[in-house]
Every structure is written in C-alpha cells, then in structure tokens.
Amino acid sequence: MLNAADVTFAETLTNAMPDLSVGPAEPRYLEEPRGRFRGQGGLLVRPASTDQVAGVLRLCNAASVGVVPYGGGTGLVGGQVIEDGPAPVILSLEKMTAVRSIDPHVMVVEAGATLADVQAAAEGVDRLFPLTIASQGSARIGGCLATNAGGVNVLRYGNARELCLGVEAVLADGTVISGLKRLRKDNTGYDIKDLLIGAEGTLGVITAASLRLFPRPAAIGTAMMVVPDPQAALDLLALAEARMPGCVSAFELIARQGLAFLEAVGPAVQQPFAPLPAWMVLIEIGLPVGLNPEQCLTDLFEAAGALVQDGVIAQSLAQRAQMWALRESIPEANKRIGSISSHDISVPLECLPAFIDEGYRRLAALGDMRVNCFGHVGDGNLHYNAFPAEGRERAAYEPIREEIKSTIHELVHEMGGSVSAEHGVGRLKVGDLERFGDAGKMDAMRAIKAALDPKGIMNPGAVLR
C-alpha cells in the first residue's frame, strides 16, 4: 500500500513519462537472500530506456527522493534494500534486456539482462563471457558490474571490472554518460567506468555495458584432487600454472566440514572420496586445440607427488557437472545448517595457509564452534564461515557473534587482506569499511560521492554513511 506522498510522486513520474511503469513495490523487491534485511514498501519504477532512467533520476533528485537501483536481488550484503528512513524509489532495470550489438570481440548489452542470458548470447557467436557465479540465472549484468562480481573464473579472466570495456550510465541529476566505447586502450582522462563499477549504485545507475568476449576453449578438463593441507593446495596451483600457463580457469578449495554439511543436510550430491578428505581442490582447465585435458590433468597428478593424495578426473560432461554441483551446493548446505557469522574475505596468497590456521585458533579461543572454509583459493578469496557446534543452537552464540566477525576481520586486516572480497559492502559492512579502510581513501570516496550525488539520493546508506 502506497502512502499519500508515494501516490503524489507516482503521479509526478507518470505525468512526465506516461509510458513509465510505476507501482507499489512487491514483496520480492524488499527481501535479500539471507533474510538479514527487510526493505520498506514504496514505489517500484521499471524504466524501459536510458531516457526514462534519466527522467526518473532527474525528478528524484529535484525532490530529494532516495533511489535504490535494483538488479536481480541476489546481493548478500544488503545493498538492495533500505530498512530505515523514508521509503525509497526502487529502480529496477528488468525491462532493459536488449543485446544492442555483438561481434566476436565485444557485446553491448543493457543492464537488465541476466548473466545467464549474456553467457548464452556469447555462446551464440561461439564466444565465451566467462563471468560465472551461482546466481547467474537471476543476477543481472548491471548488478554484477555495480558490485564488481567475482566468481569461479577470476583466476584466468578477472572479475567484472576487467571484463568491461565501457558503460552507459545515468548520474544522480539525470546526466547521461555515453561511454560504450569498445576500446582496450583509451587514456582520455579519468576512467569514470571503473569508478562506477563496484560503486554499488551509490554514484549512478549503469544502464548498458560493452563486455569483452573470449574464444571458447577447445577442450575443458575438470578434476578433484585431495591435498594434505592448504599450503599443498597453493603449491599444486603453482605447479599447474607452470605446466599449463594461462589455462587454469578455476581452482577451488573445499574443506571436510563443507562435505560433512552436505552429507548431513544436503543437497544430495555425489561425494567423490570416502572417507571425506580434510582438504581437496576442484581444478578446471581450458585448453587450445591439440591438447588433451585428461592427459594434462593426469600428468599434473603424477608430477605433483606428495602434494596430491588422491584424485578423480571427469570423464564426461555429466561427471564435470557433478563436480561443480558439489562445489555450488556448499552455500545451500551452509544455509541449512545456519551460520553464526559469514565472512567473504581475501588475503595475499602467501598468507592464506597461516590465515586459515590462525583463524581456527582465534575462533576456538572464543568458544566451541565449527568452521567451514572454502572458496576461490586461486585468487585468495575465501568464504570463512563459523557455525554452531553440533547439537547447539545459533542463539547460544548471539552474545559473541559480533566478536566472531571482528576477530576474523581483524586477522584479515593484519595480513593485508580485504574484509569484502567479492560480495561488496552494501549496508552490512559499512562499519567494517569505516574501521579498516584507509583514511585517505575514505576521504576521497566521500568527496567523490559529494561531487556526483550532492543530495545523497543514490542508494543512501550503502557503502558510505
């Protein structure tokens, strides 16, 4: 139900743009996947063009009405919902899904297209758009860029920022930036594109993007290998990259605790090893014509010596899918168990084994709990999550929940890492950014925000407060 102010502003919008879709926000636009934040009701606006986006922002800016840019709603740090203060306008680009152009090198696509649709469009011209995340069926490319999404292929191809050549965007006052150049080299001043990517909708709204496309690997190989510890995993990664330069696409670390959670609560997936190993890695390679992936992985296994204790190589697409299903089911198992505190962190690769061990030690000093450590070890990004000890309820840990988070984030900071590796800051980690962020950088960020959004209408409360 809209209040009187919402109804009046809805009339203002539709009087200016009669074809604009305006209505009350449905419940799904007020939720986020982990249930930590619950948004307020208000106007849902669904523009169908960049001109309409510009018109909406121009009117919101004039009226000092907050705007929450909304992608697929898959963000995990509360960047897409506002709990407090005046109800905002929720700006969804779900009607802007067109692929404006595509060739073997670059695709120009509107921000409302889902990541899966972008991948399919690239496949249609026998090319690869390599950004891959668990929510790619619902995550929209504008949201992926706004959060600088990572995923499993960052090791080889980079995160969202590195996959984008240009953006079209609308600033808070309705100014349109037409930056859809398809250039690898363009040194004509400040890179506004890279400023908007990762800004989580706090500086403007990305409406379209020029995305890099890549040749599809001629052959793909996938394997799971048991390693004695995280240091062995890193040594195995170095060996794989030395033997197959530029061909290692993904390298995921999986701990026994995650496998045990899958056995206990599902989802039901095939476990490749019994008994459950303490540590294993999922490795995927993409090779050019003339190389056999199964042979390359077999040779790696043999060359690894004591670094690898057991292994299985996918012999079919179905087996490859089973391996990835195991990896991608771990977050759902975590959700079913129910974490006390979840941490999306990154540390320099050489610090990763020490971080894992010291993290275990510091959490054990706080109380009896289980830790599931897994993630994109190839780029130093771990999901290091604390869970109740078996038989105990999460509520028992509520008095120390913040201390658990602080303990892990302090350790990350000590080791020169980041308390937000790929999920962003949103509203969940604003305090962490203030605590651990470089003072000079924070001042610069506030100055940029003040210059581009002086009234503070763009995603208020996210990233900066």
pLDDT recorded at residue 31: 86
Q: What CA–CA distance (Å, rounded) separates 452 from 447?
A: 9
| 109: Cα separation from own chain's centroid | 19
Strand positions, DSSP E, 296-357: 310-313, 344-346
- Contact (Cβ atoms closer than 8 angstroms) between residue 421 and residue 344: yes
- The continuous run of DSSP H or E covering 189 comes out as none
pTM score, whole prediction: 0.93
pLDDT recorded at residue 82: 87
pLDDT recorded at residue 32: 84
pLDDT recorded at residue 241: 97
DSSP SS3 for 206: strand
Q: Which residues neighbour 27 within 8 Å (Cβ) at sequence distance 6 or greater? A: none
At residue 57's C-alpha, the angle toward residues 176 and 208, to 5°, is 45
pLDDT recorded at residue 406: 96
Q: What CA–CA distance (Å, rounded) separates 275 from 212?
A: 43
- The continuous run of DSSP H or E covering 247 comes out as none
- Contact (Cβ atoms closer than 8 angstroms) between residue 72 and residue 135: yes
- Indicate the length of the chain as a whole number: 465
pLDDT recorded at residue 448: 98
Residue with tokens 């030395």: 242
Q: What CA–CA distance (Å, rounded) separates 314 from 236?
A: 18
**Which pLDDT tens digits describe the chain residue by residue (465 residues)?**
678 788 899 999 999 999 999 999 998 998 888 777 888 878 999 999 999 999 999 999 999 999 999 999 888 888 888 888 778 999 999 999 999 999 999 999 999 999 999 999 999 999 999 999 888 889 999 999 999 999 899 999 999 999 999 999 999 999 999 999 898 898 999 999 999 999 999 999 999 999 999 999 999 999 999 999 999 999 999 999 999 999 999 999 999 999 999 999 999 999 999 999 999 999 999 999 999 999 999 999 999 999 999 999 999 999 999 999 999 999 999 999 999 999 999 999 999 999 999 999 999 999 999 999 999 988 999 999 999 999 999 999 999 999 999 999 999 999 999 999 998 999 999 999 999 999 999 999 999 999 999 999 999 999 998
pLDDT recorded at residue 1: 61
Residue with tokens 């404006």: 100
Q: Which residues neighbour 212 within 8 Å (Cβ) at sequence distance 6 or greater? A: 105, 106, 129, 163, 164, 165
Q: Which residues neighbour 42 within 8 Å (Cβ) at sequence distance 6 or greater? A: 2, 6, 24, 25, 87, 88, 89, 90
